[in-house]
Amino acid sequence: MSDTPDLVLSAQSGDGARFTELYERIAPALYTWAEVRIRPELRTFVDPQDVVQEVWLRAWKAFRGFDPQSQSFRYWIFRVAKNVMLEVFRELRSPDGGVPGGDPSKRLLVLRDVPDSATAISRRLARDERLKLFAGWIASLDEDERMLVVHLGLEGMTQQEVAERLSLSRDAVAKRWQRLLARVAEQGAMRELFAEAG
């Protein structure tokens, strides 16, 4: 397995296979994040698979601008994902209810020219029962705990950033995070999806 910095260099020079390898590492966390963020009643309009593929497309187009010296790939990719989700939620709040052409059977993300590798990754993730169970566990947490897992664990924000976002002290975030990690370990849940939070 190649190191992330080597993959970044190869991908930024235009090697799509290296970008796919890099993206595949983060895709399970991204898929879980989308599962948690998209409420069940919105699944008619947007699916986590669509989000994973749309993020792949946008990230690949913008990848030459990614600076690994200023931020991690995880942090950057989740910024792309947040922008995708913000656009989707904004469209859902639009006057026509976000329904493309007024047809509730149509998706909000219209994906074109999606590489086979991105489609294969998203389909594999959608069939992964462990990811669905883990996303369900996260969704069952109270709001503060869920946001800790989303921001600190999946998105890779720092404890200080999460403390500011949730209006908590850094110590409170650190203590709550340690308790959550212990619960994850007790359940044998997918700790490997989490960033190394600090």
Tell whether the model's pLDDT for residue 79 goes beyond 60: yes
Name the burial class of residue 92, with classes exposed (0-12), middle (13-18) and buried (19+) by CB atoms within 10 angstroms of its CB.
middle
> Can you tell me the mean pLDDT for 8-31?
86
Check pLDDT > 50 for residue 53: yes
Q: What is the pLDDT, as a whole number, of residue 198? A: 39
Give yes or no for residue 15 having a pLDDT over 90.
no
How does residue 17 score in pLDDT terms, banded at 50, 70 and 90? confident
Sorted by sequence, the CB contacts under 8 Å of residue 151 that are 6+ apart come out as: 157, 161, 162, 165, 166
Q: Which one, of 193, 198, 165, lies nearest residue 33 by Cα?
A: 193
The reply to whether CATH 1.10.150 applies to domain 141-198 is no
Q: In whole angstroms, what is the distance from residue 197 CA to residue 106 CA? A: 38
Q: What is the mean pLDDT of residues 38-55?
A: 85
Across 66-70, 76-80, 188-192, which has the greatest mean pLDDT? 76-80
Task: Break the chain into its structural domains and give their ranges.
Answer: 4-135, 141-198
Lowest mean pLDDT among 82-86, 92-96, 124-128: 92-96
